[in-house]
Structure 1
Amino acid sequence: MTHVTSTDRDDRAGILLVDDMEENLAALEAVLRSLGEPLVRARSGEEAMKALLRQDFAVVLLDILMPGMDGFETASNIKRLDQAKHIPIIFLTGTDADSGYAFRGYSTGAADYLTKPFDPWVLRAKVKVFLELHQKNRQLRRLRQQDRNRLDELADRIALMEQALATGDHVEAGELRARMAALEETVRALRHGRA
């Protein structure tokens, strides 16, 4: 069963916790609750895939050894989903680190790998880095959209000026020069990231 342990807001990124063991999910929630982000549980790879289709996540914490779709198969499926392939995956496992699981995990697209029992401070710090990266990427997307909107506005203003010139509307030369100067300054500011 998937559930959210914190209220979801548009400006917050979820953390997907995937483990078939209830006590492991409870431990992850206890460690990560203080980050203040929505924690979403999935008890299987199949549930994880459904959750990824419903909402955006900043990071996935994924147990390797699960019945059915194991962590490696789940990670491979995540990386094939267009809307989820960018989401970092931290593998969590209770098996020996020398078993080759780390190599296999990284080869399936994992960003990190931790062996249970893990240090709660280390896990929280790693997840926090991915949350911050997710937030920065969102900010960058917003800035790009703002720039596209400004460029669209400029194109509209230029089209109006061209229309006025083409229809012979009496636009004073001084007014036209002032409008063009304002447009040039806006374009310069956009180029230099000041607008």
Structure 2
Amino acid sequence: MTPKTFEPDDLNKVCKGDYLASVMEDLDGQDESSIALALGYFHIDDQGKKIPLVDHLKKAIDEAEKNHSATHKDEDNFFDIYKDRLVISDDHTGIVYVPKRLVEANKEFYEGTELVDFDIDYVNEEITYGDSDSAEEYIEELGFKEPMMVQSVMNMVYVNPWDLKWIEGSSWFTYEEIADYWGLRYEDCCKESSTWRDD
């Protein structure tokens, strides 16, 4: 008996053509099943589980590489996959603070993050650009009572795989998702001082 083959559940909501060529510049090399799910190449089985259709994805990629170009790729932003959905970075950035004691107590979890010590050197280099007086004022205004670490983050946005569009505001990551995406534990972050993104 020939194995049953499936088509993507909604062919109008798959990423293809120029859109596919654009996103694959950033997604190339990631797990093919994850890419298939994020880009709409899946079938939902009787149990409601999404089954990635990798062969359909590969055919679409081959067609995009031959006949299309990355005309929807912005060099200032990048595509990625988060929770099996296609996301893109945007221009809203933030600064997140985490107590150093929590980072040191969870070294394995925080390994690989971009956390650095929050000190006068950091503020001089990243915030006040060499103005030491302003740097000291900046630190005093934050009023931390213990050593902190800091990491710059960028907001991410969920986008439709079929047209790479999103609804402004409602598709943004929550603060919890921003923390998780950038390798931080939300409950460890200083909620009062972290900016998350410059709305």
TM-score (normalised: structure 2): 0.22
Instruction: Write 1 or 2 for the structure with the bigger share of helix.
Output: 1
TM-score (normalised: structure 1): 0.23
Instruction: Write 1 or 2 for the structure with the bigger share of strand.
Output: 2
